Structure 1
Amino acid sequence: MIELKGEKVVLRALEPEDLDFLYLLENDTRFWEVSGTQQPYSRHVLKQYLENAHRDIYEVKQMRMAIIGPDGDLIGLIDLFDFDPKNLRVGLGLVVRAEEDRNKGFGAEAIELIVAFAFKSLNVRQVYAHILEDNLASMRLFEKSGFIRTATKKDWIRWQGEFRDQHLYQKINPSCT
């Protein structure tokens, strides 16, 4: 399985021992708005997910990796999703769970590593991300990582009875034609 190493973080495949972290993250209602989650996940369901997380991105069209911080602890997850080998594109999602692990360059380096992997190993032309209108920190992070806001989907996400805009950010691989 792939392991991507940077100066601050390592991206690695999910392991069975990640169950507790995954359980806390997936059941943290602060993230439900962006993940589309509408009900809690059981440990049993997440254990089954981990047992199948090794499946090939060409088969399941997604890949989730653990973000390991400098102290060796799991601090977040980074996902490639909706992999489309015909149109050479893939979506990117990122979450760093704890506030104390944010704004330290971990997310930026994780994005850099996974985008380089997507461009080189998956040979995609573009990587894209969906970011809610009020998530200014994510917008700054993705812009700093070379993504450009190319569209706004008006009233795209309904959360707690209100509609919110969602921005589309894209990064194009200049060497892919």
Structure 2
Amino acid sequence: MIQGKLVRFRTMERNDLPYVKAINEDPQVRRNVVGWGWPNSLAELERWHERSQGGSTHRWVVVDTADRVIGVTGLWDVDMQSRHALTALKLGGLEEVRGRGLGTDAIKTLMAFAFYDVGLNRLYSSILVDNAASTRAYVDKCGWSVEGISRQHVWRRGGYVDLQQVGILRSEFDALPGAEEYVQLVLGSSGT
């Protein structure tokens, strides 16, 4: 279990897949994610879950203080030689998830884990330019930088949308107010 202030990450289990399905089917989530989200049956999600174990990809469910699954996050393409990884966060499925700071908490928790438990130096991701909530969480609240724009990169809602490439270094995380508290939360909970 990886502990934040408002959320925790835990290993995704087969019995979490109905909640993951609800998040994937949330219209607000689907319109704002980069990867294409086709509707999936539980059987398809089970096959995806079985194939996604091990290797350089690590996925977790995000749970709130009531132990409800409210999202999915992880580290993809972990490169231990260059010490970087792709990350993403998908929160949804419950209306009360939005606007409570859970996304910001999850991002800071993931950064503390990636930088101080795993030993990475850089995290990167992509955000649709019209996804104001994710830009606000990653860039404005969590210190990430917009590193570039991929023009007309993603087809959404009948048109092309630009894609922001964002990233953060460990030293930039360290400079954030409250970073040390997240490191202590994560290091105190890692391995439990």
In 2: Cα distance, 1:107 partner to 1:168 partner: 18
Which runs of 5 or more structure 1 residues have no equivalent in the other structure?
Answer: none
RMSD of aligned residue pairs (Cα, Å):
2.1
Deviations 1:123-164 (A, max 9, x none): 222111211111111111002111111211111112244211
| TM-score calculated relative to the size of structure 1 | 0.84
In 2: Cα distance, 1:38 partner to 1:23 partner: 10
Identity %: 25
CA contact (8 A) 2:29 2:91 kept: no
Q: Which residue of 2 aligns with 1:45?
A: 44
Q: Which residue of 1 aligns with 2:7?
A: 9
Change (3 A) 1:38 1:135: closer
The question of 1:169 aligning with 2:166 is answered: yes
Q: Which residue of 1 aligns with 2:87?
A: 92
The question of 1:101 aligning with 2:97 is answered: yes
CA contact (8 A) 2:23 2:91 kept: no
Q: CA deviation at 1:41?
A: 1.5
Change (3 A) 1:96 1:171: same
In 2: Cα distance, 1:24 partner to 1:162 partner: 25
Deviations 1:38-91 (A, max 9, x none): 5321211212333455x33xx1x2111111111121111112222222322111
Q: Which residue of 2 aligns with 1:64?
A: 59
In 2: Cα distance, 1:9 partner to 1:155 partner: 34
Q: Which residue of 1 aligns with 2:113?
A: 117
| TM-score calculated relative to the size of structure 2 | 0.78
Deviations 1:14-43 (A, max 9, x none): 122212111222344544452433532121
Which runs of 5 or more structure 2 residues have no equivalent in the other structure?
Answer: 173-192
Change (3 A) 1:82 1:32: farther
CA contact (8 A) 2:34 2:127 kept: no
In 1: Cα distance, 2:37 partner to 2:3 partner: 34
In 2: Cα distance, 1:120 partner to 1:25 partner: 29
Change (3 A) 1:160 1:108: closer
Q: Which has the higher contact order (CA 8 A, sep 6+)?
A: 2
The question of 1:151 aligning with 2:148 is answered: yes
Instruction: Report which of the two has the higher share of helix.
Output: 2
